[in-house]
A and B are shown apart, each in its own frame.
Chain A
């Protein structure tokens, strides 16, 4: 048996995908023009699938900070924090993120994936209990494979499902850690965090919330779902990323636990990889200042979300359950999703296509992510294009929906 034989099924599925004439998993941006436009296949394309929620990748102050840092400190650190030392800027960034959340401690990681992977797999061990939402991100599932703790899934966004699993643990010894996400990356829905936190308190479970997609987007000052639901003090660990709203790459975890810093010499994804380069640290520090100084970006983002979500809903598209910076458009099956995606690319609009097994409940989705820098015109144009394609493909009905105002008995 060859090394790749075990992937035969996947190879076949992948071949199917490519029969549409374009490979959604190998898109090349020939030139990135702005947070909302790039050249793909030689043509200017509207980007609605980049997680660039505030459009800060091209913020002049963030770019300048990065360039300045390269001139001052070079292109990379060439080593890990533990073995090769921290730069002052790493420590400053950690202090600033901790202060942003009003927490005592912060650890910065080289990616958000590594933050989840390392923190979750290290916080719990043999004899402990890890409870995760069924729709958790891959980084959380991978952490589950690395821990000796017993892992149990509960139904997505269902506090009663979590409660029954905590109840069943009874008086079994061991710590309990519950993993939630601020905004789920496929359908853009938020956890009922207040209710979850109440259940966790009742059963003495620790709470870790991943705010990857909600940093900046939710909360009065952009701290995420923990802030918008008023449970910041009840969340023992908050994880997040620099690669979405903050426009760079990297991850973090904040906590008030007095012994938190021991993670610096136990979390392997922190210890055994090179630390973030100076340019990234500098742009992230500046992006965090922008998030604090320009709350209007959050308003622009949600105005844009409303334009896209309500526009698509009015045309009869089946969407995720609520407004969110991620708008997931349900399509009946994998091939239709890929065909729809391809037609949109041909029409000059780039979104993401998400198909099983990467999606919850085996759904096929066009995954759109909205940016504060999108203009209303760009998004209205997108709704028009999607409506046209949707009608051609029979996903939505041809004529505008008729409302029945009176019926015969």
Chain B
């Protein structure tokens, strides 16, 4: 899957290792940093159903204007992203977010402050 922001191919990172130990197999979840790409990818996943025509969703996409999503659905998407990335984005902050890039930066900033 190419990066929806840049069109560059994504690098896969292995974050799950299966460790076999004789007859026991454990899955180890390795702590992994959430990258900007992860956040953008998740946002695009939520916005895909609202894509207008063939125009791709990119970092500069203005969520409320370039897509067919309404304000309530935006707030519901934010709630999903909050749980996915374990941050809370206050409604007054959401109101100032216009583009996909801004939303991703907000999530990353809030994660960094945890």
Contacts and interface: CB of A to CB of B under 8 A. Distances in A.
B73 A362 contact: yes
Interface in A123-169: 134, 144, 150-155, 161, 164-165, 168-169
Contacts of A154: 79
A361 B82 CA distance: 17
A151 B70 contact: no
Nearest to A148: B92
B90 A150 contact: yes
B71 A357 contact: yes
A398 interface: no
Contact of B70 (A144, A150, A357): A357
A35 to B, nearest CB: 33
A165 B91 CA distance: 13
Interface string B74-106: 011001001100111111100000000000000
A74 interface: no
Nearest to A168: B88
B72 interface: yes
A151 B88 contact: no
A362 B79 contact: no
Interface in B41-72: 70-72
Interface string A23-63: 00000000000000000000000000000000000000000
Given A168-B86, A168-B87, A153 B79 contact: yes
Given A134-B79, A153-B79, A168-B86, A357 B72 contact: yes
Contacts of B72: 356-357, 360, 362
Contact of A155 (B79, B89, B91): B79
Given A134-B76, A361-B76, A362-B72, A161 B83 contact: yes
16 contacts: A144-B91, A150-B90, A150-B92, A151-B91, A151-B92, A152-B90, A153-B79, A153-B91, A154-B79, A155-B79, A164-B83, A164-B86, A168-B114, A169-B88, A356-B72, A361-B76
Interface of A: 134, 144, 150-155, 161, 164-165, 168-169, 356-357, 360-362
* Chain B interface size range: 10 to 19
A169 B114 CA distance: 9
A178 to B, nearest CB: 14
A153 B86 contact: no
Contacts of B87: 168
A155 B88 CA distance: 13
Contact of B88 (A165, A356, A357, A361): A165
A362 B114 CA distance: 33
Given A154-B79, A161-B79, A357-B71, 9 more contacts: A134-B79, A151-B91, A168-B86, A168-B87, A168-B114, A169-B88, A357-B72, A360-B72, A362-B73
A362 B68 CA distance: 13
Contacts of A134: 75-76, 79
A356 B82 CA distance: 24
Contacts of A360: 72
Contacts of B89: 152
Contacts of B92: 150-151
B26 to A, nearest CB: 27
B80 to A, nearest CB: 9
Contacts of A169: 88
A161 B78 CA distance: 13
Nearest to A164: B83
A33 to B, nearest CB: 37
Contact of B75 (A153, A161, A356): A153
Identify which of B71, B87, B91, B114 gathers the most chain A CB atoms within 10 Å of its CB. Answer: B91
A155 B87 CA distance: 14
Contacts of B83: 161, 164
Nearest to A165: B88
Contacts of B114: 168
Given A356-B70, A357-B70, A362-B73, A151 B90 contact: yes
